[in-house]
Structure 1
């Protein structure tokens, strides 16, 4: 649950998969008759975000976790997905999924490029299983998955939407010489659209001063591009939030143009421990106020920052979605295929 983030120590070592070895993967021509549009959507998501769990993919694209596991296991048998399960000292972890060479070949063929041009490397794809950043990567994915799965509805009954979710890798490729956010998102609620950078903090080894130092990069990015994009900091506890806010405030006030870097913070601890808890709730506190009664919902933040750059163009204006090398739009998965044919 997003209100109780995992700690890295719980998911450091992958558990060996002792199930029988899968059959020989299908070749790319045989996959033409086997992969649904939703399957291809899953491949694109894993290429963008490196790793997602069964529960996350179920929340994004399947009716239930059981149906998701059944289909993902079949995709593993086809050779388009790899899987692992980290060791946990308490309970058991869900199955984690990454893109396999067969899946990369499918995506490259769709885009009319080579697997190398796609940027896929099998060893690097599997390395996430042993990465010390695994929990952080999954935490960011859980944040967005929860925001998508439990999106609120406006007064007209229309559901809020996450129109874009770009990975840390993509953000680094676009802006890494100046700023390195953990993710970029576009969130719409009624007539309000909010572009934002997400900083996801686990409160493990990173000192608050180091988190605050990242504001210099965002300030340079705003100066270089002329685009003012808010920064949202998500931390696990209110104690961590208070300590980090103090460091952020000191750094923010020394920026050449503080208003060019709007900042708001929130703590997962503020969410009730219930399955439908969401980052869209009444938990966000702008950096220029210290009164907890001023906490806002996610869609209320834009009205507090008149200088922010209002999104006026389609985020996929350069290339149609889904795109592999351009700007990725988080379009919903295609309609589910009939159960009798594809489960």
Structure 2
């Protein structure tokens, strides 16, 4: 089987194509109504998370919602058996990839029932998992989700720390797509300090000029909404990071944007740490996410986050962590 298009470096660079699920399921039809006595609040939360963020690996789900990898694997197998989840495991050139989970047909039907819509309105199709497995953007999507799941999971073990909000690229486009289209928007909180930020996850596939061309949109957003979230740009390597910083220094200063950059050379396991270097006048040494809030006096959360009459259960933000009642399960 020939390899599909994939990033030259970074998450997904080693993936080759295989979109088949790795586990068999009973041929019988899943009774969606019967799932009402089977699915827990955490299961429903996970279905919403996968609807929002498309794909999560076993390890990402375990970090967010379980106390051990084994307990996560056991429950995920059960949800796969009931078709609440679909899964695939891409081939790699070396070693093996973890199981990748997506929303399954029964999970989609449950979410549709919760909101009183049909599967077409939900945006789910029978080809849903295959399209994700074969997508050239799989590595990019996994990179975004890995960065933010680590920030969210950090809050489970660190008092007064939380990723209190996490919007996917699709949710960002629904709210602000006429001005900006970031890869994610999030709120990271530590104590009394809040860092609202847009995330641009750079895999190195775009030219530096194209990266710079996104900045006027963020400046227009800040002017129109009279708020100024930070813009975090995460790159694959330190050398790419330096190239972006040199290219963006002048426009960032002219547009008065709050920008900080880092790369996977630093943030692999602790993206909240002292790895982020601000662009602009003043001290540009690497610092933590929360320390950035002290540098930027006009920092503020984005607009259009309050629920409206047009919102449904599925358009409201999904909590990055599951219900606390199951935290020890």
In the superposition, the TM-score normalised over structure 2's length comes to 0.88
Counterpart of 1:306 in structure 2 is: 297
Change (3 A) 1:122 1:19: closer
- CA deviations 1:278-308 (Å, max 9, x no partner) are 111011111015866x222101111211122
Deviation at 1:323, TM superposition (A): 3.2
Counterpart of 1:238 in structure 2 is: 238
For the 8 Å contact 2:196–2:229, the answer to whether it is kept is yes
Between the aligned partners of 2:142 and 2:317, the Cα distance in structure 1 is: 21
Between the aligned partners of 1:208 and 1:193, the Cα distance in structure 2 is: 30
Counterpart of 2:270 in structure 1 is: 278
- CA deviations 1:227-265 (Å, max 9, x no partner) are 2111001112211111011111133244xxx22x21111
Between the aligned partners of 1:25 and 1:159, the Cα distance in structure 2 is: 45
Counterpart of 1:179 in structure 2 is: 180
Deviation at 1:69, TM superposition (A): 1.4
Deviation at 1:338, TM superposition (A): 8.9
Change (3 A) 1:138 1:105: same
Deviates more, 1:176-185 or 1:261-270: 261-270
Between the aligned partners of 2:262 and 2:69, the Cα distance in structure 1 is: 29
Matched, 1:158 2:154: no
Change (3 A) 1:268 1:27: same
Change (3 A) 1:327 1:71: closer
Q: Which residues of structure 2 form unaligned runs of 5+?
A: 1-8
Deviates more, 1:109-118 or 1:183-192: 109-118
Deviation at 1:314, TM superposition (A): 11
Counterpart of 1:221 in structure 2 is: 221
Q: Secondary structure at the match of 2:272?
A: coil
Change (3 A) 1:177 1:317: closer
Aligned residue pairs, count: 320
Matched, 1:73 2:69: no
Q: Secondary structure at the match of 1:185?
A: strand
Between the aligned partners of 2:243 and 2:328, the Cα distance in structure 1 is: 52
For the 8 Å contact 2:154–2:162, the answer to whether it is kept is no
Counterpart of 1:251 in structure 2 is: 251
Q: Secondary structure at the match of 1:72?
A: helix
Deviation at 1:118, TM superposition (A): 2.6
Deviation at 1:125, TM superposition (A): 4.6
Counterpart of 1:28 in structure 2 is: 32
- CA deviations 1:287-334 (Å, max 9, x no partner) are 015866x222101111211122258x9955558x99312344435334
Matched, 1:264 2:267: no
In the superposition, the TM-score normalised over structure 1's length comes to 0.85
For the 8 Å contact 1:36–1:337, the answer to whether it is kept is no
Between the aligned partners of 2:22 and 2:159, the Cα distance in structure 1 is: 46
Counterpart of 2:64 in structure 1 is: 60
Q: Secondary structure at the match of 2:185?
A: strand
Following superposition of structure 1 onto structure 2, how do residues 295-334 of structure 1 map, counting pairs within 5 Å? Answer: 295-309=286-300, 318=308, 323-334=313-324
Q: 2:134 aligns with which of 111, 115, 130?
A: 130
Change (3 A) 1:267 1:291: farther
For the 8 Å contact 2:184–2:200, the answer to whether it is kept is yes
Between the aligned partners of 1:337 and 1:192, the Cα distance in structure 2 is: 25
Q: Which residues of structure 1 form unaligned runs of 5+?
A: none
Between the aligned partners of 2:214 and 2:261, the Cα distance in structure 1 is: 14
Deviation at 1:99, TM superposition (A): 0.6
Between the aligned partners of 2:249 and 2:180, the Cα distance in structure 1 is: 18
